[in-house]
Amino acid sequence: MSTSNPEQLSHDLRHHLQVIITENQQLAAKLDLTAAGAIIPLIQHAERIFVVGAGRTGLALKAAAMRLMHLGLTVFVVGETTTPAIEAGDLLLAGSGSGTTSTIVKAAEKAKAAGAQIIAISTTTDSPLAALATQLIVLPAAQKQDHGGTISQQYAGSLFEQAVLLLTDAIFQTLWALDGTPAEELWKRHANLE
């Protein structure tokens, strides 16, 4: 790996940051906001919310879980030792770019069998995860093994993972606006054992 001078590095960073921002803006412009908006009532009426994703998608969904907790919702991250069994009345928020990640599909199958509703975030309508979803949100991003660069110049599933974070933050902002609780009240739920 070669290194460049600081001026060149600064230029390269600016260029790559602009690529990332532009790709996310283009994705947002193509996003079906009617489908995305349809998940708001599902979240509002769920007894409990479970989130599941692998890798960087999983990290983005953990960030979403934190924000939903700030709203006072009961939220669990699948795979944590304190996560209970999912039941009817609950909601699974599952993210997988390909919709074929085996652990995510298995979680959705179990959730469906338990009578829970499923929100899936993916890049495709043609996958096992999409088939299980109560509501599907398609993010028009590259899948992690799409190396052609026609959809995204970024590595692997980076655009999808970023879009999951941005979308779930927009969902939080929408839910918060509907809820109307002051930020000071939400802050009281923020972790205080840090």
Which of residues 3 and 109 earns the better pLDDT score? 109
pLDDT (tens digit per residue) in 6-18 = 999 999 999 999 9
Distances, alpha carbon 161 to alpha carbons 20, 26, 73, 156, 165, in Å: 12, 15, 23, 10, 7
> Rounded mean pLDDT of 71-84?
97
Q: What pLDDT, on the 0 to 100 scale, is given for residue 97?
A: 95
Residue 145's pLDDT band (boundaries 50, 70, 90)? low
Residue type, 178: L
- What residues are annotated to the active site? 161
Mean pLDDT, residues 40-68: 98
Burial class (CB in 10 A: 0-12, 13-18, 19+), 3: exposed
Between CA 165 and CA 8 the distance in angstroms is: 30
Buried b / exposed e over 127-148, threshold 16 CB at 10 Å, is: bbbbebbbbbbbbbbbbbebee
Mean pLDDT of 120-146: 92
Contact between residue 68 and residue 43 where contact means Cβ atoms under 8 Å apart: yes
Compute the mean pLDDT over every residue in the chain, rounded to the nearest whole number.
Answer: 94
Is the pLDDT reported for residue 148 higher than 70? no
Mean pLDDT along residues 68-88: 97
Domains along the chain?
Answer: 7-187 (3.40.50.10490)
